[in-house]
Amino acid sequence: MNYVRPSRRRWTTWLLAALPVVFLGYLFVYPLVRILFTGLSGDGGAGSAFAELMNRRSLLGVAWFTFWQAALSTALTLVSALPITWVLSRFAFRGRSVVRAAMLVPFVLPTVVMGAAFLALAGPSGLIGVDLTGTVWIILWAHMVFNIAVVVRIVGGLWEHLDPRLEEAARLLGASRWQAFRTVTLPLLRPALGAAASIVFLFCFTSFGVVLILGGAEFSTIEVEIWRQVVGFLDLPVAAALAVVQLVGVTAALLAYSRYQQRHANQQSLRPIGETLRKPVTSREKIAVGATVGGTLVLVGGPPAVLVARSLRPGIDAYAGLGEELPGLPADPLAAVGNSLAFAAVAAVIALLVGLLSAAVVAYGRGAPSRWFDTVLMLPLGTSAVTIGFGFLIALDAPVDLRTAWILVPLAHALVAIPLVVRVAVPVMRSVEVRLREAALVLGASPVRAWSHVDLPMVARAGLVGAAFAFVVSLGEFGATQFIVRPDRPTVPTTIYRLLARPGELTFSRAMALSVVLMVMTVVVALSIERTRPGGLGGF
Amino acid sequence: MLEVDSVSVVIDGQTILDRVGLIVEDGEVVAVLGPSGAGKSTLLRVVAGLLSPDQGTIRWDGSDLSSVLPHRRKFGLMFQDYALFPHLDVGGNVMFGLRMAGASGVDAASRVKEVLDWVGLSGFERRSVTSLSGGEQQRVALARSLAPSPRLLMLDEPLGSLDRGLAERLVLDLRHLLRRKGVTALYVTHDQEEAFTVADRLAVIRAGRVVRVGRPEEVWEKPGSAWVARFLGFANLAESSITDGVASTPWGKVAVPKRAAGQVVMLRADRLLLRPEGTIAGTVTERLFRGSQAVLQIAVDGAPSLQVEVAAHDSPHPSDPVRVAVPDGAVSVLPADDELA
Model confidence band, residue A44 (pLDDT cutoffs 50, 70, 90): low
Average pLDDT over residues A22-29: 87
Exposed (0-12), middle (13-18) or buried (19+): which is A294, by Cβ within 10 Å?
exposed
Please write the tens of the pLDDT for every residue from A258-296. 777 666 545 556 777 777 888 887 788 889 899 989 988
- Chain A segment 451-480 residues within 8 A of B by beta carbon are none
Mean pLDDT taken over chain A: 82
pLDDT at A263 (0 to 100): 60
| B contacts of A280 (beta carbons < 8 Å) | none
Which amino acid is it at B16? I
pLDDT at A539 (0 to 100): 37
Neighbours of B134 (CB within 10 A): 15
A4 has a pLDDT exceeding 80 = no
Model confidence band, residue A434 (pLDDT cutoffs 50, 70, 90): low
Radius of gyration of chain A (CA): 24
pLDDT at B22 (0 to 100): 94
Whether B97 has its CB under 8 Å from any CB of chain A: the answer is yes
Q: Are strands B321-325 and B201-206 parallel, antiparallel or unpaired?
A: unpaired
* Residues A169, B85: C-beta atoms closer than 8 Å: yes
Q: Compute φ and ψ for B154, nearest 5 degrees.
A: -110, 135
Cα angle A356, A360, A362 (rounded to 5 degrees) comes to 115
Average pLDDT over residues A79-107: 88
3-class secondary-structure state, position A135? coil
| B contacts of A266 (beta carbons < 8 Å) | 86-87, 130
A449 has a pLDDT exceeding 90 = no
pLDDT at A269 (0 to 100): 65
pLDDT at A537 (0 to 100): 35
pLDDT at B42 (0 to 100): 92
Which one, of A111, A110, A115, A140, lies nearest residue A126 by Cα? A115
pLDDT at A131 (0 to 100): 82
Model confidence band, residue B6 (pLDDT cutoffs 50, 70, 90): very high
pLDDT at B15 (0 to 100): 92
Q: Compute φ and ψ for B208, nearest 5 degrees.
A: 85, 5
Please write the tens of the pLDDT for every residue from A55-69. 777 788 888 899 999
Stated as kind and residue range, the H or E segment containing A366 is: none
Please write the tens of the pLDDT for every residue from A497-528. 888 888 777 788 888 888 998 999 888 888 88
> In sequence order, what are the beta bridge partners of B76?
B153
Please write the tens of the pLDDT for every residue from B27-85. 999 999 999 888 998 999 999 998 899 999 999 999 999 899 888 899 999 988 888 88
CB pairs under 8 A between A and B: 73
Q: What's the rounded Cα separation, in Å, for the pair A9 and A15?
A: 10
pLDDT at A45 (0 to 100): 61
With pLDDT > 70 as the criterion, what percentage of chain A qualifies? 89
What distance separates the 2 farthest-apart alpha carbons in chain A?
A: 73
| B contacts of A269 (beta carbons < 8 Å) | 86
Average pLDDT over residues A406-431: 84
* Residues B87, A170: C-beta atoms closer than 8 Å: no
Q: What's the rounded Cα separation, in Å, for the pair A414 and A393?
A: 16
Instruction: Flag whether the pTM goes above 0.90.
Output: no
pLDDT at A433 (0 to 100): 65
